Amino acid sequence: MTVDTARHGLLWHLRIALLETRFQFLSSLRLPAFAVPTLLFPLFFYFFFAVLFQAGGPSLTGPTYMLATYGVFGVLAPSIFGFGVGLAQERDTGALLLKRTTPMPTAAYLFARVGTAAIFGAVVVLLLFLLAGFAAGVELHRGQWFSLAGVVLAAALPFSAVGLAIGAWAKQQAAVAVVNLVFIAMSVLSGLWFPISMLPGFLQDFANVFPAYHLGQLALRTIDLDLGRPLWFHLALLAGQTAVCLAVAAAGFRRFSGR
Amino acid sequence: MALPSASDSALARLAGVSHRYGDVLALDRLDLEVREGEVLAVLGPNGAGKTTAVSLLLGTLTLQTGAARVFGSAPDAAEVRLRRGAMLQVSGVPETLTVGEHLALFRAYYPSPLPTERLLEMAGLQELRDRRFGKLSGGQKQRVMFALALAGNPELVFLDEPTAGLDLDGRRRLWDEIRGLKAAGRTAVLTTHYLEEADALADRIAVIHRGRLIAEGSPEEIKSRTAGRVVRCVTTISTETARSFPEAAGAEMKGQHLEVVTAEPEAVLRRMFALDPELGDLTVAGVGLEEAFLALTGDGAEPEGEA
């Protein structure tokens, strides 16, 4: 009897996933060390580099170009920190172990983390768009605004996979350092802070190993400012990189569940 | 309900379970049975394998050798999770959520959870519902973990060292709450390294030492098999005289103090006061668990005998 009523349907899964997301989001929002930099850094950087200094010069139509890359940057932070640091922390405190003894579906937990990153990302993107539209004079077609927002929010998935791979292996203290390093190095070397064309040639080639580079190019593609590589090229590499991250994460979890 | 292979009264069982961490053998062919409606205390010193045994019954650790069944199924089966609750040893939940929010989330995992008010009351958390987890004291946090273990109205509850790190007051409060479980007809498995705690709460005690079950029985049986109490004082009574007391299991000098091990401290004290009314600095304490385990493993014989 009890067992049959518990063969929960899709609705039950959905309900838990949404509740997990709600509480994950609340929990993150109440953590100033997470929420403040996540929401303000991209805006601050965009204002500083794109609006005040017009890095990249008029040929790259600075503020427009950088709207795409800072949008990707804005989603990178909550994804990689939420998964990388948040997961390592919940593992260290035992919260994750406790949840594994409950009926909570693992998918709901992952959904909540990606969802939280996407909500933070959406807020950042909205604020960036307002700043770009009103303060920086960026003009895009309505379709471009939407497709740019879509690409940027979709970035939460591959970036979460990167964070998951780190969080599955590193202890909390180490995770903070590793995530910061990956976060900053990947942002700069993928051309999220300033245009990739300002980097030396070999670094531009090297950028192909970073998911952030491909997401940056896909975002720029929506406003016709990318380097002109074919769509499949970026999508294929992104898919491969995400698969590698997920495999690394899965190996970490297997190790954690004890031989 | 018809669960196959659950014909006996055991709700959970480990049979012939061995577990290794690298070179360390944490469990050595352990058999353990949890019967319906009982509070079972798994008693043992640190490192005895208690948490490993519980982790195998919770399915958070992968079984290496032997068999583990809970409600006749694998310990991590979905239907088992629904009917079981757990309070783990090293466990915190996110600090920025309130007690009420944590309860709301855990209740949602189960088809027929206990009402929130009831959970708050059972764990003595009524006043703390809106307090964030990070702002709670150690004892209050343990009570939240206790409430989370009960959120799904489980038939079987695992409590892994629930009072570890609590002060006396916090321990007593949690004891009261664990007694409430028994009154509500739930089955509970409790690990502890305090004989006193096992005695206060359990119907049955399983003593584990170095990964093996070395004794099993009612608290009275286990206590009678351990050496009892240590009477310690400064006195003119000689060690030889003390050893000659019929109630004394042993006696020796520790610095200025004479220590007498006995199951009947009152009788020993009467004899001592009769011989030396001036004896001073008197304490009567429980035997340390290590000594109690030596008594159990050594089968009453001197531990340092020849092989």
pLDDT at A182 over 90: yes
- Whole-angstrom distance, CA of residue B252 vs CA of residue A226: 86
Residue B303 inside a domain? The answer is no
Residue B115 and residue B256 in one domain: no
Residues of A in contact with B136 (CB under 8 A): none
Q: Nearest-CA residue of chain B relative to A108? A: B109
Nearest by CB: B60 against A20, A28, A101: A101
pLDDT tens for residues A165-175?
999 888 888 89
Q: Is residue B62 part of a domain?
A: yes
Residues B181 and B235 in one domain: no
A90 φ, ψ (degrees, to nearest 5): -65, -25
Q: Is A143 on the interface with B (CB under 8 A)?
A: no
B232 and B220 belong to one structural domain: no
Contacts of B92 in chain A (CB under 8 A): 93-95
pLDDT band at B291 (very low <50, low <70, confident <90, very high): low
Q: Tell whether B59 is within 8 A of chain A (Cβ).
A: yes
Interface mutation target, options B25, B54, B82, chain A, most CBs of A under 10 Å: B82
3-state DSSP assignment of residue A196: helix
Question: What is the rounded average pLDDT of the residues B246-273?
Answer: 85
Position B304 in a domain: no
| Contact A33/B at CB under 8 A | no
Q: Choose, out of B97, B109, B145, B189, the residue to mutate when testing the contact with A (most A CBs < 10 Å).
A: B109
Whether residue A59 is predicted with pLDDT greater than 50 in this model: the reply is no
Domain that holds residue B117: 10-224
Sheet holding B187-192, edge to edge: B84-87, B156-160, B187-192, B39-43, B204-209, B212-217
Q: Considering the domain boundaries, does residue B256 fall inside one?
A: yes
Judged against a pLDDT cut of 60, whether residue A3 lies above it is answered with no
pLDDT digits 0-9 by tens, B125-168: 999 999 999 999 988 999 999 999 999 999 999 999 998 878 88
Same domain, B150 and B21: yes
B196 and B237: one domain? Answer: no
How far apart are the CA of B91 and the nearest CA of chain A, in angstroms?
A: 4
Query: B88 vs A97: CB contact, 8 Å cut-off?
Result: yes
pLDDT digits (tens, 9 = 90+) for A77-102: 999 998 889 888 888 888 999 999 99
CB contact under 8 A, B101 and A26: yes
Asked if the Cβ–Cβ distance from A30 to B148 is below 8 Å, we say no
Mean pLDDT confidence for A49-70: 73
Same domain, B145 and B265: no
Do B165 and B249 reside in the same domain of the chain? no
pLDDT (0 to 100) of residue B297: 55
Q: State the Cα torsion B133-B139-B142-B148 to the nearest 10°.
A: -60
Is residue B1 included in any domain, yes or no?
Answer: no
Per the prediction, chain B carries an average pLDDT of 86
Residues B184 and B91 in one domain: yes
Select from B1, B78, B84 the Cβ nearest to the Cβ of A1: B1
Over residues B51-60, mean pLDDT: 94
CB contact, 8 Å: A30 with chain B?
A: yes
Question: Greater confidence, B302 or B114?
Answer: B114
Query: Looking at B208, B224, B240, which one is the last position of a domain?
Result: B224
Copy the structure tokens of residue B228.
Answer: 């009892």
Q: What is the mean pLDDT of residues B260-266?
A: 84
The count of C-alpha atoms lying within 13 angstroms of the C-alpha of B70, restricted to the half-sphere facing its C-beta, is 28
End-of-domain residue from the set B204, B224, B244: B224
Residue A141 has pLDDT above 50, yes or no: yes
Contacts of A1 in chain B (CB under 8 A): 1
Q: Quote the minimal CA–CA distance from B252 to chain A in Å.
A: 45
The residues in A 93-122 lying below 8 A from B, measured between CB atoms, are 93-95, 97-98, 100-104
Whether B301 maps to a domain, the answer reads no
* Distance (Å) from the alpha carbon of B59 to chain A's nearest alpha carbon: 7
- Percent above pLDDT 90 for chain B: 50
Res B293 pLDDT > 70: no
Best mutation site among B91, B98, B156 for testing chain A: the one with the most A CBs within 10 Å?
B91
- Selecting from A15, A26, A101 the residue whose C-beta is nearest the C-beta of B81 gives A101
Q: Would you give the distance in Å from CA B170 to the centre of its chain?
A: 16
* Structural domains counted in chain B: 2
Q: Give the pLDDT of residue B6.
A: 42
What does the pLDDT read at residue B292?
A: 63
Per-residue pLDDT tens for A233-247? 999 999 999 999 999
Out of B199, B224, B249, pick the residue that ends a domain: B224
Chain B CB contacts of A3 under 8 Å are 1, 79, 82
Contact A19 B82 (CB under 8 A): no
The answer to whether residue A26 neighbours chain B at the CB level (below 8 Å) is yes
B176 shares a domain with B135: yes
pLDDT above 60 for B95 = yes
Is B245 contained in some domain?
yes
In this predicted structure, what is the pLDDT of residue B89? 81
Does residue B307 register a pLDDT over 60? no
Provide the chain B residues 163-182 that lie in CB contact (below 8 A) with chain A: none
Radius of gyration of chain B (CA): 22
CA B226 to CA A119: how far, in whole Å? 60
pLDDT score of A6: 46
Q: Which residues in chain A have their CB less than 8 angstroms from residue B79's CB?
A: 2-3, 6
Does the residue B295 lie in any domain? no
CATH number for the domain spanning B254: value is: 3.30.70
Tell me what ipTM this predicted complex has: 0.86
Does the pTM surpass 0.95? The reply is no
Same domain flag for B31 and B56? yes
Predicted pLDDT at B204: 95
Between positions 92 and 111 of B, the ones with CB within 8 A of A are 92-94, 96-97, 101, 104-106, 108-111
Chains A, B: CB contacts within 8 A come to 93
CB contact under 8 A, B60 and A100: yes
pLDDT in tens, A197-222: 888 889 988 999 999 999 999 999 99
B207 lies in the same domain as B239: no
Nearest CB partner across the interface for A95, out of B64, B78, B92 = B92
Kindly state whether residues B55 and B200 are assigned to the same domain.
yes
Asked whether the CA dihedral A34, A36, A40, A45 is positive or negative, the reply is negative
Full 3-state SS string of chain B: CCCCCCCCCEEEEEEEEEEEECCEEEEEEEEEEEECCCEEEEECCCCCCHHHHHHHHHCCCCCCEEEEEECCECCCCHHHHHCEEEECCCCCCCCCCEHHHHHHHHHHCCCCCCCHHHHHHHCCCHHHCCCEHHHCCHHHHHHHHHHHHHCCCCCEEEEECCCCCCCHHHHHHHHHHHHHHHHCCCEEEEEECCHHHHHHHCCEEEEEECCEEEEEECHHHHHHHCCCEEEEEECCCCHHHHHHCCCEEEEEEECCEEEEEECCHHHHHHHHHHHCCCCEEEEEEECCHHHHHHHHHCCCCCCCCCC
Asked if the Cβ–Cβ distance from B90 to A93 is below 8 Å, we say yes
Residue B307's Cβ-count burial label (10 Å; 0-12, 13-18, 19+) is: exposed
pLDDT at residue B306 tops 60: no
Of the pLDDT bands very low, low, confident and very high (cuts 50, 70, 90), residue A8 is: low
Please give the structure tokens belonging to residue B293.
């385990």
CATH code where residue B54 lies: 3.40.50.300
Among A58-72, A181-195, B260-274, top mean pLDDT goes to A181-195
